[in-house]
Structure 1
Amino acid sequence: MPTVGLLYPGHSAEDDFPALEDRIAGAVRLPVVITSVGEDAHRVDALLDLGSNTRLADGAAQLAPQKPDAVMWACTSGSFVFGMEGAAEQVSAVAAAAGVPASSTSFAFVDALRHLGIRKVAIAASYPDDVAQHFVGFLSDGGVTVVSMGSHGIVTAAEVGTLEPSQVVAMVTAADHPDAEAVLVPDTAMHTLAIIEELEAAVGKPVLTANQVTVWKGLELLGPVPALPGLGALFGGAR
């Protein structure tokens, strides 16, 4: 069974992953290591610290006993704030520390969109607008056009983790745009893995969430991604 190790900052929606592992028993192991957090804030300076090589190397060392086949830095804002080049250096450092292939949630979004042949997206961002604009820039550098964005100004990951499914559905529905081929939900602090199909049904198109693309990219680092139930178009659901 493939093992995708997850470096996850702090405590908010880390329970999304073991819950998914239970639902798809036997398909993938998803061990989570909680990486250290200086300040829980969706603010650029705090996010640059959150994604520092020291914090991620410490996390990779803690993950080693799980013998991961690949490692994901399961944090979107703590990767895209570094820009495309800086985020690439970040995952190279994680791969070197872990001794296995690695990537991050920000790259997972770009690669998942490429896999689906999608170029135009809407974003349902929990972050403040200035942070969300860094994600727009990252996607643009990856060849993706953002046709609309809703930012909700939630400052802490902890608060995002308390959002109810109905609130997430409402956020995604409000962010959708007729020209968007998919809606992106970029925060790994948001519980989404149990409601992907509900989200896609609400907007009638693929919805890519941070925790979903993180799992997909971790598997994609190892070879063809298996079709998994309940995880939407990205994992072979109806399109």
Structure 2
Amino acid sequence: METEIPALLRAREAVAPERFTFHSSRMRMKHVTREELAKMDADSDRCALELSDARVDVMGYACLVAIMSMGHGYHCTSQERLQGVTRDNDAEAPVVTSAGALVEGIKAIGARKVAVVAPYMKPLTEMVVDYIRNEGIEVVTWRALEIQDNLAVAAHDPMNLPGIVAEMDTSEVDAVVLSACVQMPSLPAVSTVEAQVGKPVLTAAIATTWQMLRALDLDTRVPGGGTLLSGAY
């Protein structure tokens, strides 16, 4: 969230007049477990309140798996509640979540069948896959990298991803979700994997950036952002 979304918006600044500032408030988490995710999500109201003091124009809730671990459709519940927090502070701002953005991004490009790569342990990845399926999207194949330490997720080399995708059968999918996690870096590999599979590639960070730009009513063309950020959606 604090690396790839700013990188995408800086890339957009090279081709568009708008300029962006970035503000963050952190929910604590060290290990990606269901218990820590629940504690983390409970802290999201505090973060929304703190950020609303800065009168920001849009907020993004970064942790996809924290949202998806709370039950089907929870991204809608979370967005409404957190936007209410900003409204109560007389600083209303739209709130997008990486979970909701990924689902909406997949639908926006017309993909019905996807392949998913996630850094989580298998049980959490299965939960993410189930959440996506519940939104009417078929997950044909998926890969869990089984990295539990949150800092290790951030340190994963994105250029490992083309090799990981090459081991998956993507022949029947419409798109590839290269990283179902804003914490796992993927941006440097997006164009490589799009060329490799010949299909659209999107990530949680790309989808969140797209959803934020839409909330701001701005053009969604971002160089290096793959199909979803081509400006066509």
Task: Report the TM-score when normalising by structure 1.
Answer: 0.85
- Asked if 1:164 is matched to 2:154, the reply is no
| 4+ aligned runs moved over 4 Å, structure 1 | none
Q: Which amino acid aligns with 1:223?
A: D
Contact 2:8 2:209 in 1 (8 A): no
Inter-partner Cα distance in structure 2 for 1:151 and 1:228: 28
Structure-1 residue corresponding to 2:200: 206
Contact 2:103 2:135 in 1 (8 A): yes
Inter-partner Cα distance in structure 2 for 1:118 and 1:34: 33
Q: Which runs of 5+ in 1 are unaligned?
A: 1-7, 9-13
Structure-2 residue corresponding to 1:63: 51
Match of 1:91 among 37, 54, 79: 79
Match of 2:213 among 212, 219, 225: 219
Q: Which amino acid aligns with 1:23?
A: A
- Asked if 1:21 is matched to 2:9, the reply is yes
- Asked if 1:129 is matched to 2:122, the reply is yes
Judging changes above 3 Å, is the alpha-carbon distance between structure 1 residues 28 and 208 closer, same or farther for their aligned structure 2 residues?
farther
Q: Which amino acid aligns with 1:114?
A: K
For these two proteins, the number of residue pairs brought into alignment is 223
Contact 2:27 2:41 in 1 (8 A): no
Structure-2 residue corresponding to 1:43: 33
Contact 1:216 1:225 in 2 (8 A): no
Q: Which amino acid aligns with 2:40?
A: L
Q: Which amino acid aligns with 2:35?
A: D
Contact 1:188 1:210 in 2 (8 A): yes
Contact 1:225 1:235 in 2 (8 A): no
Structure-2 residue corresponding to 1:11: none
Inter-partner Cα distance in structure 2 for 1:209 and 1:67: 28
Q: CA deviation at 1:222?
A: 3.2
Contact 1:123 1:176 in 2 (8 A): no
Judging changes above 3 Å, is the alpha-carbon distance between structure 1 residues 29 and 178 closer, same or farther for their aligned structure 2 residues?
same
Q: Which amino acid aligns with 1:211?
A: A
Indicate the RMSD between aligned Cα atoms, in angstroms. 2.1
Judging changes above 3 Å, is the alpha-carbon distance between structure 1 residues 176 and 94 closer, same or farther for their aligned structure 2 residues?
farther
Question: Which stretch shifts more, 22-31 or 198-207?
Answer: 22-31
Q: Which amino acid aligns with 2:76?
A: A
Inter-partner Cα distance in structure 2 for 1:215 and 1:110: 13
Q: Which amino acid aligns with 1:20?
A: L
Structure-2 residue corresponding to 1:193: 187
State the SS of the aligned residue for 2:187: coil
State the SS of the aligned residue for 2:104: helix
Q: CA deviation at 1:96?
A: 1.2
Q: Identity over the aligned pairs, expressed in percent? A: 24
Inter-partner Cα distance in structure 1 for 2:214 and 2:199: 22
Structure-1 residue corresponding to 2:223: 229
Q: CA deviation at 1:16?
A: 2.1
Q: Which amino acid aligns with 1:87?
A: H
Judging changes above 3 Å, is the alpha-carbon distance between structure 1 residues 210 and 231 closer, same or farther for their aligned structure 2 residues?
same
Contact 1:16 1:191 in 2 (8 A): yes
Structure-1 residue corresponding to 2:69: 81
Q: Which amino acid aligns with 1:84?
A: H
Question: Which stretch shifts more, 192-201 or 148-157?
Answer: 192-201
Inter-partner Cα distance in structure 1 for 2:21 and 2:176: 25
- Asked if 1:152 is matched to 2:145, the reply is yes
State the SS of the aligned residue for 1:33: coil
